[in-house]
Structure 1
Amino acid sequence: MSGGRGLGSRYFCTASRGLEQLLGEEVHRKLAASQVEQVSGKVFFTADADVKTLKSLKCAERLFLLVKKLPPIQMPRHKGKAVHVLQKCVIGESGKWLDVVAKWQTLQEFSKRQRCTSDITGTGIKRPLQQEDSGTWKRPKLELDEPLTTTLDEIPTGQYHLHAVIEGSCQSKVPMQTPPSPDELPNSKSQDAASCIDFRVSCRCSGRIAKVFTSQELGRAIGVALGRQMGWKAELRNPMLEVYVHLSDIHCVVGIPIVRLPLASRDYIKSAGLRSTVAWAMAYLADIKAGSLVLDPMCGLGTILLEAAKEWPNAYYHGIDNTASQLQVASANVCFAKLTNSIDLTRASVTELPLLAESIDVVICDIPFGKKFKISQDTKTIMPNILKEMVRVLSVNGTLVLLLSQELSLDIQHWQKTKSHQTNKGKLDDAQQNADTTPVEPSTHPAEKVDMENMSAAENEQAEVKREVLASLVPTGIFQVSLGVTEASIHRYKKISIT
């Protein structure tokens, strides 16, 4: 390797379930990656890139150097034998670990040199930490020996058991059980550096293996064996190296995180709203062009606008929300990200947008689920009117991208099916219309009669709005996505002319 770049190094990223395809497209486009493989929650690829380029991925949650990827491990029924098989498969040869750790160290050193270079001003004077220069935000400096403040998302770890076992047996360096041959070692410097590593294991198990072992048991077994074989020391609070292990019915994956903080933790967002990877995915699906006018009519904290403006800076962005407190935080986010020249904010109702008809090229919106923030009206009831107003301001051939709860997603798909069914069915002939001539006795209660009439009028109005909206929208894709404990769907539409 030279210049901090891996010569075709093998990596993998974790992703929100449902975004694997979009992440695969991103690594192709940004990294010129090869051997891209998508599985549930992960994307594997080979790339020659430095840390700065790798960190430019916006759809990825976390980024790892791949140590190994194996088929599912066939575990013996005897638990003791199963542990031995597990340790042998997961750890393998010492030379492989030395090679991957050497690549990891080179990437870290190159990243550190980049930060040092960016800290020097034009006069040769070192810039103070987090000082602003030329209107751009300077990322806080993160040294290699800085404590780990976050752990792997949704990954239960075996750290506590690992500490209990290793504390008495592996605090001092232990000679390698199977020393690698000289040909296996990158060089003596890499060997010395690798032997001084302290580490911890983050383990996740699912499927059949989770019925036999807990993540804590697996973390303990892998950590003890790895420490003994490599001569590494366990350190839970501030490790130099973190080892990630995922065992499932699909594969066995072992990796080393390249950066400490998740890629999904944006340094330009002060107050997070929607998960940033999902917000970026929505903007990506909107196919924003240079000079496009982009609207988020229920912008909340402005996360979608921030992600879009950072990735596609040559467009113009407008956020609207009806809640003053939300707009206040959104404004603070825009200022923090130095995007005041790109993003405008306005207070208004989504059902009465203060915009001219067909004046917007792209509409992107996270329709509130009512879980994190309360909504004053039933979203399901007013959804036809919300869509009607979005369609009104959207230009012909414009793109509409919506993030919907599962319930709303099914409702809109039902509208579409109903529309298709009515179109195919056509008009009934006179005989069919008059087939049922059985008289129905009217209600004798005046108040009940009035209520039925009002309900019928409201239903007819809603049906008319739905027909009007669906007539001008052509669905171009539905993408299922996981928001942690909540499942959602991204719907994408193109507006067509109906005249």
Structure 2
Amino acid sequence: MLQKGNEEGFIRYFCSAGYGMEQFVVDEVTRKLEAQDVEQLQGKVLFSSSANISQVKQLKSVERLFLLLKRDPPLKMSSHANPARAASALKSTLMADPQLWTSAAMTWKRLQGVHADRKERLVEELMKEEDHESEVQIMKKRRRMAFEDELTASEHGCDETAPQENRDSSVPFSFRISCKCSGALSRCLSAQDVSKVLGASLKQLGWKVDLRYPQMEITVYLNDDHCLLGSPLTRLPLANRSYIQTTGLRSTVAWAMAQLAHIQAGFLVLDPMCGAGTILIEAAQEHKLACFLGFDIDDGQLKKASDNVEFAKLGGRMHVLRASTTAMPLPSASVDAVVCDLPFGRKFGSKSDMAASLPLILAEMERVLRVGGTLVLLLSPQLSCVLKRILTHKEPAQPDQERQHGSHGIMSTPIQGTEPPVGLMCKPYPPLHSLKHETTLRLSLGIIDGLLHKYIKTDS
């Protein structure tokens, strides 16, 4: 249920998201926050909402959440422009309305509840975000921060023991700036130059630079498409989950996979190559009335998954077992949804020849999935080509041809130190007649991209 915030009216936010995740963000803010004026940019989504800030901070599909301070058209600048002239044009754009900055600071304070000492708030955030640490560790951090505060006070001649209301009236609003500058503007102004221009202008308004404990951090995005200024509303990215101890797949991507599966109450959801269990844990956090099962053959990964299940307090709804994806200990048509990030890339290069094993893995996934159930797979572009061949029932090349030429550019030569399953390369693909393609999405996974596929089992 949407809870209205104490703030008057709607507040304008923007958030960053990985490439390909923007539509998931749009859907989530619309559904959960009743967001209005939603605008999608590459890697970012802007929206307005009157929801309580605590609900806004619970978004699962975003990387970082910002209060939108200012949004302007891109600053048109020739690559041969004089730096001084470019700086003057930039200042005119960023500081066109000084009152905007005062209003933004007040809004930011309301959202953060800034009436307590900012160091105390940092300690509280640490305790929330690192609640798996002991109280002794938290107290050590508190003492260290207090010691640093005393040094800061002595350096600036401030009395940190004075009442908060007195300090608020005498100490100027503090800030620091980070800037990401690209495109034509970056050829005449660096990120450091942009920070200097904005910083000098804010100091003229009476604000104070504080690189260690600023009350507000200002992030500037300048490129050929837009000029965005915002202030992050959390110390850590929202993608850093407090309920996951050991990370595996990026949490935002894992959440998106769970959303594609359309999990309902009473579902049994399977990840046959669960790794650290990230996908299932993300799904379990969102769907309290479903059950989750993870398989893996790597004892180290199973240990991480078990620890994560215990840390997230999901022991009653999620279980992980050692089992092979080509011979799962489950009856046919017993699972409502299958979600799986199939290993690929250098990180998994020594495990097996996934291209060779994929036909049998898919056949087993299809077997355990009930009619009407959903299959969601994350694959590399190369494995996606293999998947397409399998589902269009094309015969594979002969082993010698396959190793020499590859399939759609995929080298299927056994990785050094491993061998493909005996005879698998010479057999035709198992028939998969019941998987109907629903959608394919391309997502950024950092240095590489992945393809997210969704299928529905149509018959037995």
- 1:111/1:413 CA distance change after superposition, 3 Å: farther
Judged with a 3 Å threshold, the aligned counterparts in structure 2 of structure 1 residues 146 and 48 are, in CA distance, closer, same or farther, namely farther
2:186 equivalent to 1:210: yes
Number of the residue aligned with 2:441 = 479
Partner of residue 443, structure 1:
none
The residue type paired with residue 191 of structure 2 is S
Contact (CA 8 Å) 2:220, 2:229: kept in 1 or not?
Answer: yes
The answer to whether structure 1 residue 87 and structure 2 residue 91 are counterparts is yes
CA distance in 2, matches of 1:21, 1:203: 25
How far apart are 1:238 and its partner, in Å? Answer: 2.3
2:324 partner SS: coil
Paired residue secondary structure (1:372):
helix
CA distance in 1, matches of 2:175, 2:76: 27
Deviation at 1:80, TM superposition (A): 1.0
TM-score where L is the length of structure 2: 0.80
1:365-398 CA-to-partner distances (Å, cap 9, x unmatched) read 0111143345421111111111111111111110
Shift of 1:93: 1.7
> How far apart are the structure 2 equivalents of 1:13 and 1:246?
12
- Decide which of 52, 55, 59 is 1:57's aligned counterpart: 59
Distance in structure 2 (CA, Å) of the matches to 1:414 and 1:292? 30
Alpha-carbon separation, structure 1, partners of 2:111 and 2:280: 32
- Pairs within 5 Å for 1:161-240: 196-226=172-202, 228-240=203-215
Residue 107 (structure 2) aligned to one of 103, 106, 109: 103
Give the partner amino acid of 1:286: A
CA distance 1:217–1:413, shift in 2 (3 Å): farther
Q: Which runs of 5+ in 1 are unaligned?
A: 120-126, 133-139, 148-170, 173-188, 423-456
Shift of 1:75: 2.0
Task: Decide whether the 8 Å contact of 1:102 with 1:194 is kept in 2.
Answer: no
1:112: how far off? 7.8
For 1:35-74, what aligned pairs fall within 5 Å after superposition? 35-74=37-76
Output the CA distance in 1 between the equivalents of 2:115 and 2:210: 23
Q: CA deviation at 1:411?
A: 2.8
The equivalent position to 2:24 in structure 1, one of 22, 25, 32, is 22
Overall identity of the aligned pairs, in %: 42
2:458 alignment partner in structure 1: 496
Q: Which residue of 1 aligns with 2:297?
A: 322
Task: Please give the root-mean-square deviation of Cα atoms over the aligned residues, in Å.
Answer: 3.2
Inter-partner Cα distance in structure 2 for 1:229 and 1:194 = 16
Residue 273 of structure 2 corresponds to which residue in structure 1?
A: 298
Q: Which amino acid aligns with 2:186?
A: A
The question of whether the paired residues in 1 share the 8 Å contact of 2:269 and 2:338 is answered with yes
Residues 195 and 231, structure 1, Cα contact 8 Å, conserved in 2: no
Contact 1:14 1:60 (8 Å CA) reproduced: yes
Measure, in 2, the Cα distance between the counterparts of 1:312 and 1:130. Answer: 23
Secondary structure of 2:347's partner? coil
TM superposition score normalised by structure 1: 0.74
- Separation of aligned partners in 1, 2:445 and 2:329: 31
In 2, Cα distance between equivalents of 1:25 and 1:237: 36
Tell me the residue number matched to 1:406: 381
Distance in 2 (CA, whole Å) between partners of 1:476 and 1:194 is 61
SS in 1 for 2:325: coil
Q: Report the equivalent of 1:178.
A: none
Tell me, yes or no, if structure 1 residue 461 matches structure 2 residue 437.
no
SS in 2 for 1:408: helix
Counterpart-to-counterpart distance in 1, 2:349 and 2:98? 54
Give the distance between the partners of 2:74 and 2:213, measured in 1 at CA: 31
CA distance in 2, matches of 1:231, 1:407: 56
Which residue number in structure 2 is paired with residue 242 of structure 1? Answer: 217
- State how far apart, in whole Å, the 2-side matches of 1:145 and 1:96 are: 37
Alpha carbons of 1:144 and 1:284: their partners in 2 closer, same or farther (altered >3 Å)?
Answer: farther
Distance 1:110 1:202, change over 3 A: closer
Q: Deviations over 1:263-307 (max 9, x none)?
A: 111111111111100000000111000000000000000100110
Q: Which residue of 2 aligns with 1:10?
A: 12
Q: Deviations over 1:129-177 (max 9, x none)?
A: 9499xxxxxxx99x99998xxxxxxxxxxxxxxxxxxxxxxx99xxxxx
Secondary structure at the residue paired with 2:372? strand
Counterpart for residue 163 of structure 1 = none
Q: 1:356 to 1:3 in 2, by over 3 A?
A: closer
Cα distance change, pair 131–236 in 1 and its aligned pair in 2 (3 A): closer
Q: 1:146 to 1:224 in 2, by over 3 A?
A: farther
Gaps of 5+ in 2: 146-155, 158-164, 396-422
Kindly indicate whether the alpha-carbon contact (under 8 Å) linking 2:26 and 2:45 is maintained by their aligned counterparts in 1. Answer: yes
* Cα distance in 2 between the residues matched to 1:24 and 1:286: 18
**TM-fit CA distance, 1:414:** 4.5
> Contact 1:472–1:495 (CA<8 Å) still a contact in 2?
yes
Aligned partners of 1:288 and 1:315 also within 8 Å: yes
Q: Is the 8 A contact 1:15 1:61 kept in 2?
A: yes
Opposite residue 250 of structure 2, the aligned amino acid is R
One-letter amino acid of the structure 2 residue matched with residue 88 of structure 1: S
| CA distance in 1: counterparts of 2:456 and 2:301, whole angstroms | 29
Alpha-carbon separation, structure 1, partners of 2:309 and 2:450? 26
Q: Which amino acid aligns with 2:192?
A: Q
- Choose 1 or 2 for highest CA Rg: 1
What SS does the corresponding residue of 2:62 show, helix, strand or coil? coil
Gap change, CA 1:195 and 1:102, over 3 Å in 2: farther
Instruction: Give the length in aligned residue pairs.
Output: 398
TM superposition shift of 1:61: 0.6
Structure 1 stretches of at least 4 aligned residues deviating more than 4 Å after TM superposition: 110-113, 129-132, 143-147, 192-195, 457-460
